[in-house]
């Protein structure tokens, strides 16, 4: 019985960690003139902080992504991305920026997208706890949310399918300049 309770407590603590991580805002934001600088992990709480910064600083015209290690809430990332696009904000990567996974999904929302030499965009497949995203058939509803979002931002879904094949969910692929051009991720260098 004690062993069962210990196992249950361990399982509960693991689940709670993921829930608590998503309940806290893992993204740091700082306003510098017309720039909103962001770094960290996008969580379910990030869109509210993002909207607050935009409301309090109407001069912001560019979201600068520093080190974004991804997102633990794709729907939150897509809400922010649609807000960026709706407001006509630019997204920018500076030298040293390293944007992974869901952070790349946020970057492609920019009405104008710029990337300095020395910045990196890194992608991989998703995993839902059961299977790799790349293992689902193309027609699977599991693809729809992110596939549609990427098509909305870039005009087609080719980049979505590329990310699934670029690296498994426990790996990462640093995009080459040719890949960035091929999928139209920049509006200007």
CATH no. for residue 80?
A: 3.90.226.10
Q: What is the pLDDT of residues 64-100, one digit of tens each?
A: 999 999 999 999 999 999 999 999 999 999 999 999 9
Can you give the pLDDT at residue 18? 39
What the block records as the tokens of 188 is 């200007």
In a domain, 12, yes or no: no
Distance CA 147, CA 29 (A): 27
What band does 159 get if pLDDT is binned at 50, 70 and 90? very high
Q: What is the pLDDT of residues 25-64, one digit of tens each?
A: 789 999 999 999 999 999 999 999 999 999 999 999 999 9
Domain that holds residue 142: 25-182
What band does 11 get if pLDDT is binned at 50, 70 and 90? very low
Q: What is the CA radius of gyration of the chain?
A: 18
In a domain, 19, yes or no: no
Q: What is the pLDDT of residues 109-157, one digit of tens each?
A: 999 999 999 999 999 999 998 899 999 999 999 999 999 999 999 999 9
Can you give the pLDDT at residue 39? 98
In a domain, 189, yes or no: no
DSSP string, 10-68: HHHHHHHHHHHHHHS--EEEEEETTEEEEEEEE-TTHHHHHHHHHHH-TT--EEEEEEE
When divided into structural domains, the chain yields a total of 1
In a domain, 47, yes or no: yes
Over pLDDT 90: what percentage of the chain? 84
The neighbour count for residue 29, using CB atoms within 10 Å, is: 17
Can you give the pLDDT at residue 24? 53
Beta-strand relationship, 90-100 and 120-123? parallel
What band does 188 get if pLDDT is binned at 50, 70 and 90? confident
In a domain, 17, yes or no: no
In a domain, 96, yes or no: yes
The neighbour count for residue 90, using CB atoms within 10 Å, is: 18
Can you give the pLDDT at residue 2? 55
The dihedrals phi and psi of 92, each to the nearest 5 degrees, come to -145, 140
pLDDT at 3 over 70: no
Q: What is the pTM of this model?
A: 0.87
């Amino acid at each position: 019985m004690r062993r069962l309770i210990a196992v249950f407590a361990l399982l509960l603590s693991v689940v709670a960690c993921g829930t608590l991580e998503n309940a806290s805002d893992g993204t740091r934001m700082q306003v510098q003139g017309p720039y909103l600088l962001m770094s960290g992990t996008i969580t379910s709480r990030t869109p509210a902080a993002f909207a607050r910064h935009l409301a309090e600083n109407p001069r912001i015209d560019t979201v600068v992504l520093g080190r974004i290690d991804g997102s633990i809430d794709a729907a939150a990332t897509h809400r922010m991305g649609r807000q960026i696009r709706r407001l006509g904000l630019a997204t920018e990567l500076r030298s040293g920026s390293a944007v992974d996974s869901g952070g790349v999904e946020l970057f492609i929302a920019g009405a104008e997208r710029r990337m300095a030499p020395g910045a990196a965009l890194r992608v991989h497949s998703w995993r839902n706890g059961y299977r790799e995203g790349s293992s689902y058939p193309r027609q699977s509803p599991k693809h729809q949310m992110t596939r549609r979002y990427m098509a909305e931002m870039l005009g087609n879904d080719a980049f979505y399918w590329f990310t699934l094949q670029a690296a498994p969910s426990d790996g990462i692929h640093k995009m080459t300049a040719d890949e960035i051009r091929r999928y139209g991720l920049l509006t200007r260098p």
